[in-house]
A and B are shown apart, each in its own frame.
Chain A
Amino acid sequence: MLTLLLAGCGLQPFHGTELAGASFLSRTITQSSGPVTVSVAVPDARETLALTGLDLYEQGIQPVWLRVDNHTENQARVALSSIDRDYFSPIEVAYMNRRRFSGSGYADMEKWFHDNRLRRMVPSGTANSGLVYTHLRPGTKGFNLDIFSGGENHSFTFFVPMPGFEADYTKVKFESLYSEDDIRQLDRASLVNVLLEELPCCAHGPDAGSDGGPINVVVVASPLALRRGLLRGGWLETQADREETEGARAHKFDGRGPDGIFYLDRPDGNERINLHLWLSPWRMEGTPVWVGQVYYREIEESFLRGLADARAIRDSAFLSRFMRESVVADIDSARRFLLQNLWYNQSLEAFGTVSGVGVATENEPLLTFDGIGYFTDGERIVLILSDSPVGLDEVHFLNYEEDLQSGVAQ
């Protein structure tokens, strides 16, 4: 009662916890790049509250703990902007939470945040450790880190699993999806032929012959390149076995729901872009080929969505209005967005398009088994990702139609 009263009056003292003894530090992940070693750990919401006394997750703030060991002969600079371009400064976080505290309570809190910050400059032969305050990223905490020393750039990418969150793809046993006999090694030209001749237009639904959403994306990438590319592009992961993704999982390729579902929220709107990916049995020059769907999904479903459920209403005014207005129906815009997203986040090595989805117009749309109407130019995009960053102007455009005519693939 007294605590509540004090909280209400802004008279609370601040009791910071000793960072060195925090329990989340038992989950550190360590990587080295030559003479630079970095360890990271990320407290979850509860551990952040225990550490700071503040519900920072509620405010969209996620602390990241780092330790940087500099065995180079020069001072090293940790570029905090590489972790989060819009990170919060330590005293900013303290000031945002000032109202609960008395004058001396605030001073203690400010000093705690200042003392426990990660210092940028790491002298040669020493180590710095401390906290950086980033924007909250739901699910696995993925981030990049650049450290500069004596003209050298040491780049790291971390994926830190968070307690209580298991991404859907971590539940998939990729190694047992296909037998050795199923897996087919292809070069670029034969992959195009396989895509044109063997990849179905669409995912399939629960009943025989029922079409799901069109397969309008093909990604050629190592698992790490794919994960890094999606991280750089701001795509978020989906938790395994959640009710929200049941609908998406009813769309099947090779008898199973997507191996991974990723999403990206759009600004100021009611949509997000969903990306569903399946590992295929094909390998292009040894690299896995993923097939997938990219389309807009409404966060709160509009009434138009359910009304398009039965094929009987194909000619109805409802479907006609849905096709004229719906963001969701325009799947090609989502496909263009994905292409540029990977292009601008420097993950794309080459791209091209192949046909195979089938053309559908606004006046003669196609409907999925679960009642989503769409129109499309019928193309599917083939995205070849790179393991290392590619400049905007270094991306190759693969003109498959011409390649096939001349019999040579680029």
Chain B
Amino acid sequence: MKPGCVSGCFLRFLFILSPLLVVLPAQGQLLHGDSVPAPNDRQQVYTAGDITVTVAVPSEKETREIFAVNLYARNIQPIWIKIENGGDISQFLTPMGMDSAYYSAREAMSRSRDAVNEDSLSELEVSSISRLEVPARSTRSGYVFTRVDEGTKSFNVDIVGGDEHYRMSFFVPVPGLRLDHYEVDLKEMYPEAERRHLELAELVAALERMPCCVRDASGKDKGDPLNLVLIGQIQDLYYAFMRAGWDETETIYGSSLLKTAASALTGGHYRYSPVSALYVFDRPQDVALQRARTSIHERNHLRLWLTPLVHEGMPVWIGQISRDIGVRFTWRTITTHKIDPDVDETREFLLEDMAYAQGVTRFGYVGGVGAAPYDAPRGNLTGDPYFTDGKRVVMWLSGTPSALDEIHVLDLSPYASDHVSD
């Protein structure tokens, strides 16, 4: 691939040397700035006002074909972006919104140096988005170099300038990873007759009657407590979690198990290690997410199940979260995670994590788990102990950012039933 450098390079020079010489084209026409062709047809387009943004994410294979370098192997994932600014004022694209630690073209180069020839180096630089400004009535396209996300590449694009601002979130599937939420047909899970539309008081009562804990496949043994309730559409849930830095997980298959084991042994970064199945309502989790911290030993796992409950038109989810504080080796699944026995601490971490990512509008607490004090803990399915105050946190999630000072704390204690489920 050769980017269109004939017009692009000339214009870039023009901008650098004498910005005042640029004569704006007539209304309705767009000046073509740096122009780099899209890597594939999996494009997503977002239009707001005078701004149109198109994005595409090349897979590992496509990236190798374009740049003749395996950038993915260096934890670098290019995002192709085109901004069409049809308005009368300059706009700014801030790549930091796409990845807070994005790489400049030369940083991407230097990380790939041993596998690269000079042509690839200049290819990377010529194809990258270097200037932030997109002048009035012009178009700009090129690559931003981010850290790798497998599966769905989720990122925000912020376009700022003048009095208008545009914040958009993109979710671009990238071939190569099977994800839990694609396997489950949520619409078909509960027929309308089984759904229960509940007011707040009835909702609290129903939540306290939900099972206390997850089960194993046989349904006999009890495991980790179900201490989370989320209220929101699946897309709101994904937007909020991805903004907070959570990733999807892969379902357990042979190859990923080996990757996890290798990662545990080397302390490497395999962000997408699979989780095992746990059971509620006689089925494994509908959604599994994880948030990696600095290595496989430091991550949080979260599993969710859709309930038949509906509140204010929104589906209600119940779930379990654990903080992994170490990895143990077992014969059956090769590895298993040692979880923090202070499950309430992990629950409060999640609430804060979502609140700081501006994903929560309301929250409160209900019972249903049953308390277990520090000196008389209960055990989960892998024999790890846990202790808890017995509460579930209920969070109302939002797909649009909700500032910290706008969160409502609901006192749900007037509706408490003190019921503890089995």
Contacts and interface: CB of A to CB of B under 8 A. Distances in A.
A330 B111 CA distance: 15
Contacts, number: 127
B188 interface: no
Interface in A334-368: 336-337, 339-341, 343-344, 359
Nearest to B350: A81
A268 B356 contact: no
A268 B111 contact: yes
B106 A341 contact: no
Contacts of B348: 80, 120
Contacts of B298: 86, 88, 92
A146 interface: yes
B161 A89 contact: no
B148 to A, nearest CB: 11
B314 interface: no
A397 B325 contact: no
A207 interface: no
Contacts of A341: 96
A73 interface: no
Interface residues of B, number: 58
A82 B356 CA distance: 8
Contact of B107 (A82, A327, A336, A378): A327
A397 B161 contact: yes
Given A96-B325, A114-B374, A269-B111, A89 B106 contact: no
A266 B107 contact: yes
B147 A89 contact: no
B195 interface: no
Interface stretch (B45-53, B210-218, B274-282, B337-345): B337-345
Interface in B129-152: 130, 132, 147
A333 interface: yes
B132 A336 contact: yes
Contact of B349 (A80, A96, A270): A80
Contact of A96 (B17, B104, B106, B326): B326
A91 interface: yes
Interface in B150-176: 158, 160-162, 165, 167
Contacts of A401: 19-20
A95 interface: yes
Contacts of B409: 151
B109 interface: yes
Interface in A202-220: none
Contact of B404 (A88, A91, A153, A377): A153
Contacts of A337: 96, 104
A95 B162 CA distance: 52
A330 B374 CA distance: 56
A347 B241 CA distance: 25
Contact of A397 (B92, B100, B341): B92
A344 B106 contact: no
B62 interface: no
A395 B109 contact: no
B248 to A, nearest CB: 20
A85 B356 contact: yes
B283 interface: no
B400 interface: no
> Range of interface residues on chain A?
35 or more
Contact of B162 (A111, A269, A343, A397): A397
Nearest to A85: B356
A300 interface: no
B338 A95 contact: yes
Contact of A268 (B75, B109, B346, B353): B75
Contacts of B356: 79, 81-82, 85
A194 B132 CA distance: 26
Contact of A340 (B17, B95, B130, B352): B95
Contacts of B405: 153
B7 to A, nearest CB: 19
Given A269-B111, A340-B94, A327 B147 contact: no
Contacts of A344: 94, 96-97, 100
Interface string A52-95: 00000000000000000000000000011110011011111001
Nearest to B104: A333
B333 interface: no
Interface string B381-407: 000000000000000000000001100
Contacts of A269: 107, 110-111
B96 A333 contact: no
B74 to A, nearest CB: 7
A330 B106 contact: yes
Interface in A349-398: 359, 377-378, 392-393, 395, 397
A325 B121 contact: yes
A39 interface: no
- Residue from B147, B165, B349, B352 whose CB has the most chain A CB atoms within 10 Å: B352
A324 interface: yes
B110 A325 contact: yes
B110 A343 contact: no
A240 B294 CA distance: 31
Interface of B: 16-17, 19-20, 74-75, 90, 92, 94-97, 100-101, 103-107, 109-111, 113, 118, 121-122, 130, 132, 147, 158, 160-162, 165, 167, 293-294, 297-298, 323, 325-326, 338, 340-342, 345-346, 348-349, 352-353, 355-356, 374, 404-405, 409
6 contacts: A91-B342, A92-B340, A269-B107, A325-B109, A326-B106, A392-B160
Given A86-B294, A271-B110, 10 more contacts: A81-B355, A81-B356, A85-B353, A92-B323, A111-B374, A267-B101, A324-B121, A333-B130, A340-B132, A397-B162
The 5 closest A-B pairs by CB, nearest first: A393-B165, A340-B96, A81-B352, A333-B104, A92-B325
